[in-house]
Structure 1
């Protein structure tokens, strides 16, 4: 019998956008306050900027970074990089200057596209040696650009003067598409390498689990620099030729109005966003009848939130995953929304999920707690130029160790109950205590400090600092926040500061987090 060779299939999202631009050019691709784009517009602008990137030396596997809020320029930059086979680096716009610099240096990005709101931050950095070209977005009415921006090239002028690239680079499963940086437990950022295959297999998983359809409208208000917002629906929508409503940031009233006005069908959000919307006076009267594919993840979901939205006919579908799983490893089917409230769902069709003993690595019994591990084609192959971190995260059989503690019930539904590491998830953002503790370590008058997460109904968790202070020192919450503000992002700053006689430590000098959490519940707030 003759064996046929199966060729590598092009799964580049930029190829799909180019196809839609050819066969359905006038269809709306992006609704955006700074200017809507049809598929012909989106493809043309990405093709022209791809030429600009080529003129600046960008080739396959080079890194192209974007620093700014949700916008059409974010999508254009990403698609332009994809067209060339380059790697897109979305930078978290909430990072402090040292954190931003670390991402640019570690990624080795040679080009940065930036919005005016973040230009001053970049101008204040010691320019990374590899960063050769700086483009300032200056054609977006939502973020007007300065007319005197030294060092910066006009984005609009560069695009207008370039001819569109005719070809789109073929990208297959193993080609890296995106570098997304996430902090390690020590606070050192790690670049998660997401291949085109990771993105494609996640899309297929979601396709088989979530009722989204051709012709749908997707809403994107969660930050696109997060894989949850970008790879849940936005990239899939563009590959399918659907419409995406992009908002620069989340505003509860605007988002609720968008759901009705644009007849939104699918969206991704963190619990705090749904909580904010349901607290609006207009929530009970809003027409939410078109919402059918609504995924919530990034933090624990209070059961009351699930039931309140269900009363409005909207089933919030809980999911679990990480940047490393691109992002979803599990999903709770809509029919189980109310019967399995609190569960993160069952494994995705092409993803394996196990719960194992944290010491032996062997699978534990149903209902028994252990570390959640994941394996599948949606899982990253490792961290960018960081063999040590990659080796620590993966075992010999290719299982990715998430660091989350959970258990599986009799129906293979996953419940996340704790974290092996001490990461805090506040409003969908990851906060690592060691990072904040280091930022506060040199605060004058502060003897010792520990940072923990405390459950919060709105944000999932809030950051709480406990400190012992020198006699006569006047340290308040405001003092703590001001001191750390220029070292870490604002969402990492403590929301509460508690004064204690001594911060609990064990015999080896390590922070005793069990006693610290107990102490946090017994101590009055300061500041």
Structure 2
């Protein structure tokens, strides 16, 4: 026996936990906690509702809403039927939302009240046949009865008998259809199989200090693979507790860590930057916190040092939606020693750096494109064979589009996105390098660096900054500060001050929106 036909459906694991640990709290949520027995029962009843509406194996079920217990109930109900779960970015505007729902081919949508009008406005032309409104979450009160075409899901769930079975899922069966953030273009649907999800969990369990009874904290958006598959989904499989917040609030975040004695969490650098502005944040006792994974963007070294001094060891990781999500991880004990590194390859994942033109591996210390191969890597993009063919080479390596280098000991350092590289006067400028420098500049609260067309230089470097109250920063100030830390050809030649630097819901800089600020 090879084990390749083993059932790795998370819904089956949750059902087993409901039998063995019925009264253990699975989901802690402001709209109401759920034990494993309650979570499994609600998912089983919703599975019956979905099946009665025609959902079967391979169909897509979309969720449009913020972090909530409903997110997991919907996901597990879909998994029970062998359906594919489509968690939708709740910040998408109408045309973007239409594109995701159209491309996914979702036949049923579970929607929170705050997104009903948006879904209503774009539903025509999609494959959606059924619309379920979440009407029993105290955190999301429904202002009026569902309109035409909408069904309140609470009455349906109460009336439904629990679906008696969980369809077995193996390594090649699709589990989640997750759309990329689209910071540099149109989003693509990333197919993540049950095997991709499972192997990432094995990687995480092998490298990080996680335990079956842990409490993990989810305030980063769960529609992002980092928040969903770093700890949250795995915690439900293992029988621990997922504490959910609908959105990120810095003070609430700190209070929750202390009150709940959180053991693990996924965060993005922008969240950490916000935490540093909470009074007394570095004077608290975070001894229960063992595993803090930071990804989504490079972390300024000064931020790592600040948290390390307070006993919180930030473990940088690198990956994408396509790697489910982690390809590399920096062990906690190396946090300060390898300051700024995104770590070493996960145990069951291969990573190398190649010349982006020749596809030949480069030497240690030389920057190139990061490529990945392993069982956690997506098989491709949903109904997009051209994009799939472009992303994989003939040897099965996935080309990430990220630029980085490996040091002589095999530790990865991220330089930037290949598409974001600026060519100014024949020199390559990596915006992320300049952003890391300027993020430490006194008075700068957030920063993005982009290139714009320039008649003399081809492209010129532009810094887009938000500034702390009471500070006044000029282009000359920025150039003088950066000149002590990077080569002169990398210095910004333009400065744009904005109230808030655009970021997407995943915490990544939204380069499309940022460039639009410079137009005209």
Q: TM-score, normalised by structure 2?
A: 0.84
Q: Distance in 1 between matches of 2:380 and 2:163?
A: 32
* 2:472 aligned partner: none
Whether the 8 Å contact between 2:315 and 2:331 is mirrored in structure 1 is yes
Q: Distance in 1 between matches of 2:490 and 2:454?
A: 9
The count of aligned residue pairs is: 457
The one of 304, 307, 310 aligned to 2:308? 310
Superposition pairs for residues 482-501 of structure 1, below 5 Å?
Answer: none
* 2:382 aligned partner: 384
Q: Distance in 2 between matches of 1:239 and 1:386?
A: 31
Deviation at 1:294, TM superposition (A): 0.6
Q: Distance in 1 between matches of 2:490 and 2:209?
A: 46
Q: Distance in 2 between matches of 1:393 and 1:202?
A: 20
Deviation at 1:515, TM superposition (A): 5.8
Cα deviation, 1:46-65, whole Å, max 9, x if unaligned, reads 00000000001000010000
Coordinate RMSD, CA, aligned: 2.2
The alignment status of 1:233 with 2:204, answered yes or no, reads no
Superposition pairs for residues 153-302 of structure 1, below 5 Å?
Answer: 153-183=151-181, 187-302=185-300
Whether the 8 Å contact between 1:185 and 1:421 is mirrored in structure 2 is no
The one of 3, 10, 14 aligned to 2:11? 14
Superposition pairs for residues 8-407 of structure 1, below 5 Å?
Answer: 8-150=5-147, 151-183=149-181, 187-407=185-405
Runs of at least 5 residues in structure 1 that lack an aligned partner in the other structure: 425-451, 467-502
Cα deviation, 1:263-298, whole Å, max 9, x if unaligned, reads 000000001112211221131332211001110011
Deviation at 1:505, TM superposition (A): 6.4
Deviation at 1:521, TM superposition (A): 2.3
Q: Distance in 1 between matches of 2:201 and 2:140?
A: 31
Cα deviation, 1:167-205, whole Å, max 9, x if unaligned, reads 001000000000001155862221000000000000000
Q: Distance in 1 between matches of 2:92 and 2:449?
A: 16
Taking a change above 3 Å as real, the CA distance of residues 318 and 328 of structure 1, as seen in their structure-2 partners, is same
Q: Distance in 2 between matches of 1:463 and 1:249?
A: 27
Whether the 8 Å contact between 2:193 and 2:378 is mirrored in structure 1 is yes
Deviation at 1:465, TM superposition (A): 8.9
Q: Distance in 1 between matches of 2:49 and 2:160?
A: 6
Whether the 8 Å contact between 1:8 and 1:172 is mirrored in structure 2 is yes
* 2:484 aligned partner: none
Cα deviation, 1:207-260, whole Å, max 9, x if unaligned, reads 111001111100000000000000000001000000110000000111111111
Partner SS, residue 200 of structure 1: helix
Q: Distance in 2 between matches of 1:194 and 1:423?
A: 29
Deviation at 1:128, TM superposition (A): 3.2
Partner SS, residue 189 of structure 1: coil
Whether the 8 Å contact between 1:223 and 1:249 is mirrored in structure 2 is yes
Taking a change above 3 Å as real, the CA distance of residues 178 and 505 of structure 1, as seen in their structure-2 partners, is farther
Q: Distance in 1 between matches of 2:82 and 2:459?
A: 45
Taking a change above 3 Å as real, the CA distance of residues 415 and 459 of structure 1, as seen in their structure-2 partners, is farther
Taking a change above 3 Å as real, the CA distance of residues 34 and 514 of structure 1, as seen in their structure-2 partners, is same
Deviation at 1:463, TM superposition (A): 7.2
Deviation at 1:147, TM superposition (A): 2.4
Whether the 8 Å contact between 1:116 and 1:136 is mirrored in structure 2 is yes
* 1:472 aligned partner: none
Q: Distance in 2 between matches of 1:515 and 1:284?
A: 35
The alignment status of 1:522 with 2:493, answered yes or no, reads yes
Q: Distance in 1 between matches of 2:114 and 2:107?
A: 21
Partner SS, residue 188 of structure 2: strand
* 2:448 aligned partner: 462
Partner SS, residue 66 of structure 1: strand
Q: Distance in 1 between matches of 2:455 and 2:388?
A: 30
